[in-house]
A and B are shown apart, each in its own frame.
Chain A
Amino acid sequence: MTMSEQISKVTELATSLSGVAKCRQDFPCLAQTISDHPLVYLDSAASSQQPLAVIEKVVDYHSHDHANVHRGVHTLSHRATEAYEGARDLVQTFINAGSRSEVVYTSGTTESINLVAQSFCRPKLAPGDKILITHLEHHSNIVPWQLVCEQTGAELLVAPINEAGEVDIDNLFRQLESGVKMLAIAHVSNALGTIMPLREIIEKAHSLEVPVLVDGAQAVPHISVDVQELDCDFYAFSGHKMFGPTGIGILFGRETLLDAMPPYQGGGDMILEVRFDGTTYNDLPYKFEAGTPNISGAIGLGAAVSYLQTVGMHAISAHEHELLQYMTGQLDQVDGLRLIGTAADKASVQSFLLDDIHPHDLGTILDHQGVAIRTGHHCAMPVMDFYGVPGTARASLALYNNQDDVDRLVAALTTAKEIFR
């Protein structure tokens, strides 16, 4: 890269960073007061707010273009199909999937993982086979595997973590070498924010012919994801954590694997021909999309993808990285505050405890000052057990947050300390 190219790259990043700061005004839900205080929304890891571009796209669809997809020759059905399939193309580009056949709509990350557990793993598993997950996983990347283990007699192995909240890679490699049939792992931990060194892990898994599913729910809104570069076999994520609607999500799957898998659910749209003596399933990705899908959700998700691309994933990552460092630094200065999850490589999330104040009490006190955080076990009870706490308070950032939000959080924590003095 020449000097002038470097300068232009830096200028471009600086411009887009100030662009990120302006994003807040795109989110109508943020412009309100809670208990007479301007809302500070620090719970995007649970569910993010939607920009006007997404809300209007969905309203527009319902107002003008709604009909069932892939059926009928009438104009509305054609429009709905175009929009629904167009959104799939947007998602394909966004995660750099090799083909649109590899992009399956689901109801969310949870369904995506259950689909893989039941349709990909279950037919292959025998008693004594092993599936490997990590101690950091969200319940949605634990329970589907427990279910398939119960069904097949397979065993669930758990890769341990250290005090910082990082997976012990050497140990994980040894567990992989012990012979496992599947590795299911988060890209970013929802409770602690730890970013997994996925390329290294996937390379190792593949050298042992272990297929890998990545739970990307907490990664997609924050960091640029390229499924071909990661070389993962499956990648699952949800619309509502990336500024899209609830009830829609994606399963990316390698085409050869999806092709060989039996359908997950039966019904309309997933068939080519139905006869009582046998049914021919539809091509990918429709084989995994039984029944009338969440059409407006998919269209909203497509709009969210376009929004993220307009702002720019690199600019978003840079903005959030800087803000996370600021937030962690400010929190660390609060007397009596214990940071939970201090991995070297993190995204968007900081969990903490304050003195002996129960997280639930903290959540109420903050909410009453307009500051929305998540409190509790974050659907990651094993992580809470690891730290020996019933739950934590968790502040999570998104592209629309700024330093003022962090300052308001810290001020609200000071009030909590006064009340519990």
Chain B
Amino acid sequence: MIAQSQSQEELRDLYRELILDHARSPRHFGKLDGATHSAEGINPLCGDKLKIYFSIDADGRISDAKFEGSGCAISVASASLLTDTVIGLKTEAALDFFSAVVSRLSGRMEDGERPLSKVDLGKLIALEGVKEFPSRVKCATLAWHALNSAIRNESETVSTE
């Protein structure tokens, strides 16, 4: 049955091995003591709730990042991949990733984001499967919105609604 295999293929594209691996064994999971920046992200639709922490040096470099909370496989994997990606980056570079991920997954640029063309998403490309699942884009971008909020020092909770 063609339909069967096509929809299964899309599902497997969404739940790629890398995503399932990060969802089951999230990297940098837990509270970061001595964090200089943090923000919470909530997706009221499905109850995803993540808090993300950063230690940012005086010269604007992210020396450490961790997250805690609970959520679906997509939101947890995305947060895990985020921490893997941004540790060691300057905040400007991390924000470039934020813009690139959000625009790539949602197919639009949000107000105030820098136009981005040259960011190599690397393994973050694994999140791209959500493009076929519009209701799940918010899950994939939740941690990234929290990153944006934390770095810009908007300490209030970010909601995807």
Contacts and interface: CB of A to CB of B under 8 A. Distances in A.
B129 to A, nearest CB: 11
Nearest to A362: B72
Interface in A18-39: 35-37
Nearest to A419: B15
A359 B46 CA distance: 8
B110 interface: no
Interface string A348-374: 000000000111110011001100000
Nearest to A418: B8
A263 B46 CA distance: 37
The binding surface of chain B is classed by DSSP as helix
Contact of A415 (B3, B8, B136): B8
B73 interface: yes
B81 to A, nearest CB: 16
Contact of A391 (B6, B10, B46): B46
A353 B58 CA distance: 46
Interface string B36-61: 00000000011111000000000000
Contacts of A377: 47
Interface in B133-152: 133, 135-136, 139
Task: Report the interface size class on chain A.
Answer: 20 to 34
A375 interface: yes
A62 to B, nearest CB: 31
A419 B13 CA distance: 10
B7 A361 contact: no
Contact of B70 (A364, A368, A376, A390): A390
B12 interface: yes
A343 B72 CA distance: 28
Nearest to A370: B7
Nearest to B49: A390
A252 B133 CA distance: 42
Nearest to A34: B7
B158 interface: no
* Top 6 A-B pairs, shortest CB-CB distance: A36-B3, A358-B72, A360-B72, A360-B46, A390-B47, A35-B7
Interface of B: 2-4, 6-8, 10-12, 14-15, 20, 45-49, 70-74, 133, 135-136, 139
